[in-house]
Amino acid sequence: MYTLNKAKTSSLLIDDIVSAVMDDEARDLELQQLLRISDDTAVRERWTRYQLTRAILQRDLPTCTSVSHLELADRVQSVLADDTVPAPASVLRWLSQWLQPITGIAVAASVAMVTILGAYNIGLMDTYSTLTVHQEGIVLVEPNSNKNLQLASSAFGTAPAPQATAQVLRLNQPLVQSTAPLHWQVKSIPAGFSLLQQQVDELDPGQRENLIYSNGQIMFNLIIEPLLGRQIAEGHTTVGADLVLGRSMQVGDQQLFVTVVGQLSLDDAELMVASLSPL
């Protein structure tokens, strides 16, 4: 199985995937991987050069314009980045139909909760934020805290604070780690990911468990709630870079609705949902 880690994806592996996608010979997962890393300049350029090469081999390259091959796509991308360009209407229609019945779940808010900042030098972080060492290589930054940098940096480990680097996740709201016991466990977790946060909301009856996983670079939510006799359409779509998957399922004598939101492949999301079991 190919790694999903952009930084570790080798050049040859990218060549292989790009080449197969060009020929409609790639697996779904590989296409998803390409999409996930397609904002990487090197990958984007490679995809474009491969298309350029094909155009030349097939004598399809126009003479009427520059071979500055990223210019047009950059311009299109720039316009599309403008909020005035509406997303295809189908997204909003589909999401509104699907997500509305899920009471109390603000999926968009869940996705927006964490902003991935990437690798940062700890010494350069805001001093008014809380830096929490979650696990090796991952540091959480919480807003509006008086804890100082030195305290957090010292918690980072033995490395001197100014030189220490890690993947930093900036939380848009304070970290709330629920103490309520979880009722469900996920046995199949994508390689490299670990449980970052768990939230439990009491329902009547039952409870909703919101599990947040991260590998330090990307994250996703898995939300488990009782179906309670509701009819909720299942399906999946993507919103930007995020997958949204909804599945109703029967585990033992309980009917559940499971929602997965975030940057992971459909295959991984389906595997996680399928591996759900009671604790």
Partner 1 sequence: MSSKQTADTELVKRAQAGDKRAFDLLVLKYQYKIIGLIGRYVKDSHEVMDVSQDAFIKAYRALDNFRGESQFYTWLYRIAINTAKNYLLAKARRPFDGDVASSDNVGEHGQYDQVDMIADSATPANLLVRDQLHEQIFATLEKLPIDLKTALTLREFDGLTYEQIAEVMGCPVGTVRSRIFRARAAIDKEVERILGHRS
Which two three-digit tokens encode residue 13?
């592996």
> Cα-flanking dihedrals φ and ψ of residue 220, to 5°?
-155, 160
Q: Are strands 276-278 and 194-202 parallel, antiparallel or unpaired?
A: unpaired
Closest CA to 266 of 13, 108, 32, 34: 32
Shortest Cβ 160–partner 1 spacing (Å): 38
Residues 230-269 vs partner 1: string with x where CB under 8 A?
-------xxxxx----------------------------
Interaction of residue 48 with partner 1, rule CB under 8 A: yes
How would you classify the pairing of strands 138-142 and 165-171? parallel
Cα 109 from Cα 7, distance rounded (Å): 27
Tokens linked to 66: 């520059």
Is residue 104 a contact point for partner 1 (CB under 8 A)?
A: no
Residue 51 engages partner 1 in binding (rule: CB under 8 A): yes
Distance CA 70, CA 123 (A): 36
Q: Is 176 in the site for partner 1 (CB under 8 A)?
A: no
Q: What are the backbone dihedrals phi and psi of residue 26, each rounded to the nearest 5 degrees, phi first?
A: -90, 155
Q: Which is nearer to partner 1, 61 or 182 (CB)?
A: 61
For residue 194, how far is the Cα from the chain centroid?
A: 13
Of 2, 5, 6, 46, the one binding partner 1 by CB under 8 A: 46
Mark residues 53-72: x for contact with partner 1 by CB under 8 A, - for none: xxxxxx-xxxxxxxx-xxxx
The CA angle 207-213-219, to the nearest 5 degrees, is: 125
20 near partner 1, judged by CB under 8 A: yes
Task: Please state the closest distance from residue 64 (CB atom) to partner 1, in A.
Answer: 3
112 binds partner 1 per the rule CB under 8 A: no
Asked whether position 270 contacts partner 1 by CB under 8 A, the answer is no
Residues that bind partner 1 in the complex, under the rule CB under 8 A: 12, 15-16, 18-28, 31, 34-35, 38-39, 44-58, 60-67, 69-73, 75-77, 79-81, 85-91, 94, 237-241
